[in-house]
Structure 1
Amino acid sequence: MSEHVPIEPTILYFGTPVVLLSTENDDGSANLAPISSAWALGYTIVLGLGADGQSAYNLARRPDIVINVPGPHLWKQIESLAGVTGRFPVPESKPAGMRYEPDKFAVSGFTSQESVVVNPPRVAECGLQFEARVAPARLGVTGDFLIVQAQVLKVHADAAVVIAGTNYVEPAAWSPLIYNFRHYFGLGPELGHTYRSQTPR
């Protein structure tokens, strides 16, 4: 049996997907922000956001959002957004050295793609894109982050990861970018599937 030891890590990102949030700024332009706290239940996606970031500011005023899910090959473009914020002036709570950048698409090299039912654009390079609308956010227990519920209205998937003629994503063809204790990973080979899987085999 393994030995366990008590530790006090600074973060608890034990392996969560990275998503890119597209929201609409006051002037109609788009903000693009990577986050690593997202999970889905049915057609609801729950997001954890910094309370003083531009995404939180935008969503308090305009509830439309696109949740873009990148693959592992996009990690460098995601990381290019780590040191910038769309919030001006830069909040004091942000890490030292973070700078204001109004055009996140230009900084990252991602391509803006028009959405169908919401105003913020999709990220063309992301294999899965969820157009959604959020309910009013709630402060987390520590007060420095928000818990946001987004109701997905439309799903877009790269045809290369869809089982032809179905509405199913082929798990063997799709891999999300994973944030594991502040390091980027992809998925390994499939180990098996749950009895609830409906994917054609």
Structure 2
Amino acid sequence: MLFDFAELAADIRYKILTATVTPRPIAWVTTRSRDGVANAAPFSFFTVLGHEPPTVALGLLRHPDRGLKDTAANILASGEFVVHLVPRPMAEAMNATCVDAPPDVDELALAGLRTTPSQLVSPPRIADCPVAFECRSILNQETGPRQIAVIGEILCAHVADRFVLDAGKGYIDTPALDLIARMHGSGWYARPADLFQLERPRRIG
């Protein structure tokens, strides 16, 4: 079946995208407002773009009532954010930060999360997350009414010591991280299972 997105309502386009582009890694993003209020929210329109320089991309959809979401407003104001990856034991806390809260509410405190200062940016890190990237935005592009694409340069990465196999070679015990990903429909997530490996073809010619 052909779905002509120009002919579809926005909610149907969203459902088709989120039902087919799976699994999607989750960027659990912390930011800080101009007033100093910390904010945390998860986003699954997220990926890495490259390593020279190391960059990430966030797709920040608009809030149905307030326009820009707090995360987008804070990034536009400060240019700083921290991306955390979500392990299965922290899924419920991550989900708690999905709450639609006013800008003056600290979702980190609301979810009972421990935080620690970042090294190079103002927003705090979630202390118990096994992976966190401190980032500074290098491009903020409005792709629709109050819909923002953010490209950020990763300034530094934090990986919990117990998951680092060889720091000099950059070897990480990825399966042990037990990271979750977003799936189809409301509230569906996945975790690594039934892995398989393929050898990359050699150069021809």
Whether these two folds match at TM > 0.5 is: yes
Give the C-alpha shift of residue 70 in structure 1: 1.1
TM score, norm. by length of structure 1: 0.80
| Residues 1:190 and 2:195 aligned together | yes
Give the C-alpha shift of residue 86 in structure 1: 4.2
Question: Could you tell me how far apart the structure 1 residues matched to 2:166 and 2:102 are?
Answer: 39
Cα RMSD between the aligned structures? 2.1
Alignment of 1:71-110 (within 5 A): 71-87=87-103, 102-110=105-113
For 1:44, the equivalent position in structure 2 comes to 55
Question: Could you tell me how far apart the structure 1 residues matched to 2:163 and 2:194 are?
Answer: 15
Question: Could you tell me how far apart the structure 1 residues matched to 2:199 and 2:87 are?
Answer: 23
Alignment of 1:169-188 (within 5 A): 169-181=172-184, 182=186, 183-188=188-193
Question: Could you tell me how far apart the structure 2 residues matched to 1:69 and 1:178 are?
Answer: 9
3-state SS, counterpart of residue 173 of structure 2: coil
Question: Could you tell me how far apart the structure 1 residues matched to 2:113 and 2:56 are?
Answer: 23
For 1:155, the equivalent position in structure 2 comes to 157
Give the C-alpha shift of residue 144 in structure 1: 4.0
TM score, norm. by length of structure 2: 0.78
Contact 1:160 1:173 in 2 (8 A): no
User: Gapped runs of 5+ residues in structure 1?
Assistant: 88-100, 197-201
Question: Could you tell me how far apart the structure 2 residues matched to 1:185 and 1:112 are?
Answer: 26
Give the C-alpha shift of residue 6 in structure 1: 6.1
Moved over 6 A (4+): none
Contact 2:46 2:58 in 1 (8 A): yes
Give the C-alpha shift of residue 151 in structure 1: 0.1
Contact 2:97 2:108 in 1 (8 A): no
Closer, same or farther in 2 for the Cα pair 1:83/1:29, shift >3 Å? closer
Residue 158 of structure 1 aligns with an amino acid whose one-letter code is: A
Contact 1:66 1:122 in 2 (8 A): yes
Question: Could you tell me how far apart the structure 2 residues matched to 1:103 and 1:160 are?
Answer: 29
For 1:112, the equivalent position in structure 2 comes to 115
Which structure is higher in helix share? 2
**Count of residues in correspondence between the two structures:** 178
Give the C-alpha shift of residue 155 in structure 1: 0.4
User: Gapped runs of 5+ residues in structure 2?
Assistant: 4-11, 63-67
Contact 1:134 1:150 in 2 (8 A): yes
Give the C-alpha shift of residue 9 in structure 1: 6.3
| Residues 1:33 and 2:62 aligned together | no
3-state SS, counterpart of residue 83 of structure 2: strand
Question: Could you tell me how far apart the structure 2 residues matched to 1:193 and 1:168 are?
Answer: 19
3-state SS, counterpart of residue 175 of structure 2: coil
Moved more, 41-50 or 172-181: 172-181
